[in-house]
Structure 1
Amino acid sequence: MVTAETAVVLPVLLLVLAAVVAAVVVVGAQLRCVDAAREGARAAARGEDAAVVRAVAARAAPDGAVTTVAVAGGEVRVTVSAEVVPVGPVRLGVEVGATSVARLEPGVGA
């Protein structure tokens, strides 16, 4: 009797473990997007060139992330987004992203 119960519960436990690992991977990628957008916005607010801002954001972003930089008025908006494929043989992509806004430093032109 115990063997039959173990045979049923073990695959369920493996599925739960895979789901937890996938959730951790997605949340980790989301946090990396938040950090990358924040660092990019800081660099842009200091007056760095858009290519430098993208490079700064790319260092903190997940692999394959796309970074956009927009300057409007006295603010800069940096958006970082990426598609994350968590784990396992099922290739379900999850889109994660973040946007950060910062005011331009005094003396920095738009």
Structure 2
Amino acid sequence: MRYFRYIKKSYLKFRKRDADMEKFEEIKDFLSREILTAMYMTTDELDQDALFSSYGLESTTLTKIVMNINKRFLINLSVQDILPYQSVNKAAKFIHSILEGKIS
């Protein structure tokens, strides 16, 4: 009986980890699309580890992107919250951690 509980518990952990990864990818994809659209870039031009400033992303554009993030994920971030996370990957990890805290 304990074996089945262990299997069930392991399965549930795996499912949660899988759902977390899907959510992270969703955030990263959304953020990438926002930057691509705002900067008139193609997908192959976007390096998800490059600094936002390397694309010429200005504060007014970043403000619009943050507003769209807030609408999409029902959170309340400011530009100042995002500034320390100056790449798609870093910003996506930050937003994901905010959402995890909100859900948990």
TM-score by length of 2: 0.49
Q: Select the structure that is richer in helix.
A: 2
Question: Larger radius of gyration, structure 1 or 2?
Answer: 1
TM-score, length of structure 1 as denominator length: 0.47
Give 1 or 2: higher strand fraction. Answer: 1
